[in-house]
């Protein structure tokens, strides 16, 4: 392995590891599996997942901080969707592989 390969590998590995770390939490992974099927509000996610709104919001905040989801406000509701098509493709694969419900 030459020096250029080593530098690129380290550079590419860090963001990849950060994405995997964010998806490594069961709640965040489950939310992402829902969002690959389309934009959803916090209230909708709360109903689907059966967890409190505060917990959903906390996990969405982390996903947003990590750049995995984006949001838009409509009235009093906030809608979330996957921010990056490549991340969406990866999450679709993982959700399908592990047969996550949608």
Check whether 6 has a pLDDT greater than 90: no
Q: Please report the domains of the chain, with CATH numbers, ordered by start residue.
A: 15-98 (1.10.10.10)
Q: For 17-55, what is each residue's pLDDT tens digit?
A: 999 999 999 999 999 999 999 999 999 999 999 999 999
pLDDT score, position 99: 85
Work out the average pLDDT over 56-66. Answer: 98
- d(C-alpha 26, C-alpha 29), whole Å: 5
Grade residue 2 by pLDDT with cuts at 50, 70 and 90.
very low
Contact between residue 36 and residue 29 where contact means Cβ atoms under 8 Å apart: no
């Amino acid at each position: 392995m030459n020096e250029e390969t080593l530098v690129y590998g380290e550079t590419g590995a860090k963001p990849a590891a950060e994405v995997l770390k964010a998806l490594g939490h069961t709640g965040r992974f489950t939310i992402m599996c829902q969002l690959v099927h389309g934009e959803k509000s916090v209230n909708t996610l709360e109903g689907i997942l059966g967890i409190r709104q505060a917990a959903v919001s906390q996990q969405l905040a982390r996903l947003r901080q990590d750049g995995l989801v984006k949001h838009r406000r409509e009235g009093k509701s906030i809608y979330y969707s996957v921010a990056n098509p490549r991340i969406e493709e990866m999450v679709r694969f993982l959700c399908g592989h592990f047969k996550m419900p949608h």
